[in-house]
Amino acid sequence: MPKQDGSDAVDRRAFLTGAAGTGLALGAHAAAPSTESPDRATPPSSTAPAPTAAQVERDTGLLRIELPARAVQRCGSDLQTQVLKDLGIEFVAGNPGSSFEGIQESIVNYGTPPNVMPEFITALHEETSVDMANGYGKAEGRPMCAMLHGTIGLQHASMAIYQAYYSGTPMLIIAGRDDGFIQAHTANDMAALVRSFTKWDAQPKTLAESLTALQEAYRQAITPPTAPTLVVLDMETQKAEAGALQVPRYVPPRIDGIDRTNAQEIARRLLSANNPRIEVGQLRTPAGVALAVELAELLGACVGSRATAGPMSFPQRHPLSGPGASTEYDFRLGLESGPADIALMGPRVASLESRRDTAGIGFGGLRARGTPEGAPGGQPAGIHRSIPIDAQASLPALLAAVRSLATPARLRVIAERGAKHAAANQGAYVAALEKALDQKRKGWDASPVSTARLYAELWPLIMNEDWCLASPSNFSGGHHRELWVHDKHYSYLGGQGAGGMGYGLGACGGAALAARGRNRIVINIQTDGDFNYAPGMIWSAVHHRLPMLTVMHNNRAWHQELMFLQYMAGVRGRGTDRAHIGTTLRDPYIDYAKLAQGYGMASEGPIDDPSRLSAALARGVASVKRGEPYLIDVLTQPR
């Protein structure tokens, strides 16, 4: 992507000259908006022409163009930006590229005030742009936009898109296309690079088509199964004169719930049960969580929650959340979860495989056959009857049916049952907490610092704040599950989706974007291996004043892989003294506090004395409450 200071002019000229001699010209090809497989692009038939002097000057930032006072009367990209405004897109994250300079200019200059709804967020890597959209989408239950430069930006971002697809995160991706510029950065069917792990894509040919494509991409992203969608915007549509063209009215999607017959049946079974239970998985939006709470309270039913495993689930410390007064349940209802007698389960992204995996890749977890339980295409075990319908959209009809069938006598029984469950759940919570505290005191004063102490000492500092734990916790012990209270739909955002590294910082940055204007803080327990994939998010956090506290889980290794290698060497009888090779971060050790300072972030550490931890955490929390991101490097035990 072009630099603007001209400092690499000689090298870039050499690159462009070499690329022109060997590159292939790809003709323009516009793919119609569709979730189906498009026709294969025709093969290139000629070599690319050498770039002109003007193209070389433009790419190196040396081009000087004299323009009249107003060369464009009504910008096409202003209308494209207006679509994003109308859709309520708060942020567009991108690493600037010449293929979307038209719409980027509109985002930062169009509107009153400019650069608001959406605001352009500067990322230092395309993967980070998408990770930010992933973290934001998990926290808010609605899309953010990531903007990518051509083929190379799309390839940089592909792993992050893949992870968001596995997580079912709604997001809108825009890829710029400039077929008249660097040929290696363009393609006939650019979206094919990621088609197998996006829900929908389009490459509109005209400005009018681009407006409806952006609206449809948003609609598809938020319609179950929620997932990333992609629109390829040609430079010609961004630079087009809009004339009298108007932005079409956006029509939100219709998301169907259960019919009246099913609603009545489930309501009768819930009301006739002596001890019903509701299992709540991940719903789509905060509104769904509120409806689930309303249903549980209406029925006095105890609830199983996944709030400690991911977002948009039932509040962990609601009085009805827990095992209840008795675990002998005579009817169980699943809302995007199991086990259950009847489960309302919306479609998963794996259902798109036959239409989207046109290359026949067969990604594990998305395959039609052999899908493991818990993967995006899997159905939880123990479901007697699954109704393939979105649970959140079904809740209004179910609530109405319960209200219409509930008698005053039954409501009195329900009130008594709810009170018994609340008392039992409180007792169960206290007992579980005491047990967890007893276990986590082991190694409390040891050095390096225990991960349990890290979570335990952070909790009293944030418990009265509005907080979000946005980082995965599987590699740091997951101690928040027992020690913290997860009562908001964003309390914990869960794992990476596909288990890939490099996700943590970007996703926490996206969650911090959501938090910034909402008086919320974001906690990032950051693993050291993951940090080094895309550390540039540290600069973006400072630049955009994101309320993000990063606490390094610095065990100086990819510890899981170290254990794997130790085991493999052991079973082969070779000894484990060389298992550190290729699995540890030593010689030299990495100073993350200095790295953060280099990007402009306030930081401290490394801390290996646990007695110094609490004061450092307090300084960090105070900083992020002021809107100033902070990093604390803590030398930790492996888990």
In three-state form (DSSP H/G/I as H, E/B as E, the rest C), the secondary structure along 94-107 is ECCCHHHHHHHHHH
Q: Higher-confidence residue: 332 or 19?
A: 332
Asked whether residue 362 is assigned to any structural domain, the reply reads: no
Check residue 381 and give its pLDDT.
73
Over 50: is that where the pLDDT of 28 sits?
Answer: no
3-state SS assignment for residue 629: coil
What's the CA gap between 552 and 527, in Å, rounded? 6
Which pLDDT does position 4 carry in this prediction? 40
Is the residue at 244 inside a domain? no
Same domain, 420 and 498: no
Per-residue pLDDT at 174: 98
Is the pLDDT confidence value at 48 over 80?
Answer: no
End-to-end C-alpha distance for the chain, whole angstroms: 40
The answer to whether the beta carbons of residues 54 and 87 sit under 8 Å apart is no
CATH number at residue 610: 3.40.50.970
Range of the domain at 496: 441-635
pLDDT over 70, % of the chain:
87
- Cα–Cα distance between 327 and 424 in angstroms, integer? 11
Is residue 384 in a domain?
Answer: yes
Cα dihedral 607/610/611/617 (nearest 10): 60
Residue 254 placed within a domain: no
The two tokens of residue 573 are 């009888």
Q: For residues 389 and 495, state if they share a domain.
A: no
Q: Are both 128 and 70 inside the same structural domain?
A: yes
CA–CA dist 457, 627 (Å, integer) = 21
- Per-residue confidence at 32, pLDDT binned at 50, 70, 90? very low
Kindly state whether residues 419 and 480 are assigned to the same domain.
no
CB-side neighbour CA atoms (13 Å) of 53: 1
* pLDDT at residue 376 greater than cutoff 80: no
Q: Do 325 and 418 fall into the same domain? A: yes
| Residue 584 within any structural domain of the chain | yes
Does residue 454 share a domain with residue 418? Answer: no
Confirm if 31 and 203 have CB atoms less than 8 A apart: yes
Q: What is the CATH number of the domain that holds 309?
A: 3.40.50.1220
- Which of the 8 DSSP states describes residue 246? -
Q: What is the 3-state secondary structure (H, E, C) of 479-545?
A: CHHHHCCCCCCCCECCCCCCCCCCCHHHHHHHHHHHHHCCCCEEEEEEEHHHHCCCCCHHHHHHHCC
pLDDT digits (tens, 9 = 90+) for 291-343: 999 999 999 999 999 999 999 999 999 999 999 999 999 999 999 999 999 99
Assess whether 282 and 159 both reside in one domain: no
On whether both 407 and 452 belong to a single domain, the answer is no
Average pLDDT of span 17-35? 38
Tokens describing residue 427: 């007792």
The answer to whether residue 252 is domain-embedded is no
Give the pLDDT of residue 64. 64
Mean pLDDT of the chain: 90
Nearest to 247 by CA among 133, 53, 111, 76: 76
Domain end, chosen from 431, 455, 478, is at: 431
Identify how many contiguous H helices and E strands the chain contains and give both numbers. 21, 16
Pairing of strands 630-635, 91-94: unpaired
Statement to judge: residues 447 and 427 lie in one domain: no
Flag whether pLDDT at 68 surpasses 70: no
Tens digit of pLDDT for each residue in 86-128? 999 999 999 999 999 999 999 999 999 999 999 999 999 999 9
Quick check: is 234 in a domain? Answer: yes
Say if 151 falls within a structural domain.
Answer: yes
**CA–CA distance, 504 with 24 (Å, rounded to integer):** 37
pLDDT of residue 67: 57
Residues 344 and 384 in one domain: yes
The verdict on 625 and 549 lying in the same domain is yes
Backbone conformation region of residue 161, classed left if phi is above 0, alpha if psi is from -120 to 50, else beta = alpha
Rg (the chain; Cα; Å): 26
Task: Let me know whether 476 and 608 are in one domain.
Answer: yes
Number of domains in the chain: 3
Are 551 and 480 in contact, with CB atoms under 8 Å apart? Answer: no
Average pLDDT value for residue range 170-177:
98
